[in-house]
Structure 1
Amino acid sequence: MSRQLNKLSAATLKAAEPGKIADGGGLWFHKRADGGAQWFLRVTVHGRRREMGLGPYPEVSLREARQEADRWRAVVRSGLDPIKERERIKREEASKLHLLKDVADDAFESRKAELKGDGKAGRWFTPLQLHVLPKLGKVPIGDIDQKDIRDTMAPIWHEKADTARKAMNRLSIVFRHAAALGLEVDLQATDKAKALLGKQRHKAKNIPALPWQEVPSFYQSLDGGTVTELGLRLLILTAVRSFPLRFAHLDQIDGDVWTIPAEAVKGRRDATSEFRVPLSTEALNVIDQAKPFARDGFLFPGARRGVISDMTMSGLMKRRQMIERPHGFRSSFRDWVAETQNVPHEVAETALGHVVGGSVERAYRRTDFLEQRRVLMEKWSAFLTKRMQ
């Protein structure tokens, strides 16, 4: 490397013939035959000669080229390869463009097809939105480590164990999504954070359920004819989950069969896994009573728009000083089946919409036990209404 620096001038550059001329200190000017020109720096690192481009001329002036050369010569003096160091800096700067919030949004978008109702209910994203993004959303995902995650999750790790578990699960998915995008992230960060947080003390609590022997009295007390009461009655009669019940649409009902679309059934994501619900005589009676309230085809519309919420039905039970909640009626039904009915396990579980057996077994078993479930649900209906008859 020549010790003499700043050999060139603006006039020299304008008059230069095709070829390479040195400015000194490893900085070279290359004039091409086609009239174009560019700067490059020639250095020796660890005994190996390296050449790195510094940009085209005249976009990069003589003065700017000398400043760049000074910068990278300093890097060489520190024992680093300037080309690799420049690439490292570029990657680092690029990572700062991928904030956790942006990657989380992208991960959510890519998974909407797998989620109930395309994730419109917001439940997949909510744990992140409420408990993670307010603290880490504006941090580049590549900069987030287990300590950051631990500090973020610590306030809810034991107090809101189920929510914390969901948030950690979603965050792990976002990290894997980032890795698939080619970003440099620590895929074990969430597992390491769990180790730092320790075992959760909080024990998950089952949703309170009314004993099956008491369900008929409660069912028969729902005699006001309101949308909420009719919704609860059909929920109890069919033993379905709240979501498909609240979004029940007239187009889904054909005769005495209610077909719940796959996207509204928990655990069923493909287009062929819709769920047929046999409707008892009493269930059809409730539907007939609900039809006058229907709006846009939905049997149980909300007071102002949309459909009734979970809180609407839960609120009715709460006002009656009950600790039980609507979802618990599924447990009440299952206990009634177990204690009073002699039906195969597969029929009882399918009545709740549960997937029974392994994938191979399900591939060979094509029935959904509709006829057996029809008999079972008619008996459940008779049990609920026996004092009304």
Structure 2
Amino acid sequence: MSSEDVKALRHDGKPGNRLFFIGHVKGLALQITPKGSRSWLCRVTVDGQRRNIGLGPYPTISLSEAKRQAQLHHAKAYAGTDPLQAREEAAKAREAERAKALTFEEAARRFLPSKQAGLRNKKHAAQWESTLSEYVFPIIGKKPVAEVDVEDVQKVLLPIWLKVPETASRVRGRIEAVLNWARVMKCRPANMANPASWKGNLEHVLPEQRKGGKHPALRLEQAADWFAALRQMPGTAARALELQTLCASRSGEIRGLTWGEVDLERAVITIPGARMKAGEPHRIALSSAAMKLIQATPRTPGQPLVFPGAQGRQLSDMSLSAVVRRMQAKAEAEAIKRGDEPGKAGWRDVETGKPAVPHALRSTFRDFASEIGHFPRELAELALAHRIGSKAEKSYWRGDMLERRRPLMEAWAEFLGA
């Protein structure tokens, strides 16, 4: 059969594909579908079993090329090699080579959509990509994902490990997740340990982040759910903790807050130096959510405290901690009802697994400012009433940048869902 004869072949219109054996090579046929698409097929027999091997579309693959390929497959079959199996193994080998060449950034970008799809909050989803882009890709993004080792992970983490510990911990976890995905997708050897894992690995080579331990912090991914649960809690202590969260303040600053320190017209709280850790007055820019909370708080004649405790005295720090413990206990009880493990329920620190405590909300706020809000470091530090810069640097500062801090506090309240 000539090339012109092959070109003239047509489907008969009946259901199913049609095979036209060409005759030049045993088993070589042109397959035509009812819709008219054409492709080459070669039938060979290996160990008494028939193999149908596709050779490609016609006319992309010409008659002469189809004959050449068919002859090669028959030669392999005659030698005892299964051509179909050989092709599959070659394809796997090529895929393995491509997997070895896959860079960490390429692996991360293939992994991210599936991870982000499981996150309800769009900001949390964006946070994954932003932290990887900022801290990881510039250092190991172009390195083959199959070759990333402990030294590479250290290069990423050491510059930020002590500077922004919560952010660094989350970056470590995200690197670990990408490398786990790469192993499952066979882009890393199955027997290769994850160099970003913490237990028995990085815990032995990274310095301690804070001497004397750190407060178990609320994860950014859980902040909105935590705040929603807090707003469901009754009582004065719960409302004080709500304001403390919105203002990113220390417990004592809110527990001792008086009506004389609140300026509702200017939406600002001014805490005197005598009540501040640094001994200097501190102003807090109130978000609209914080304003609504204060405005809704009942005011007792003759009572100076905004959130008085029993018998009109100042709330204790334990009162606010008790609110968090009740929230945690409720979450664990609900986990038991669902049949889940209570030890993992609620709101826990990403490293220690311990339930978050009120003071660590400031750490969560700091992470939000840098990771999601992308606000200047100085604004976040001023909002937290931290000292910034040397004496020489401070001489250049004018005021406390109160109005520039206001968008930061609004963004924080919006992030919490307030």
TM-score by length of 2: 0.43
TM-score by length of 1: 0.46
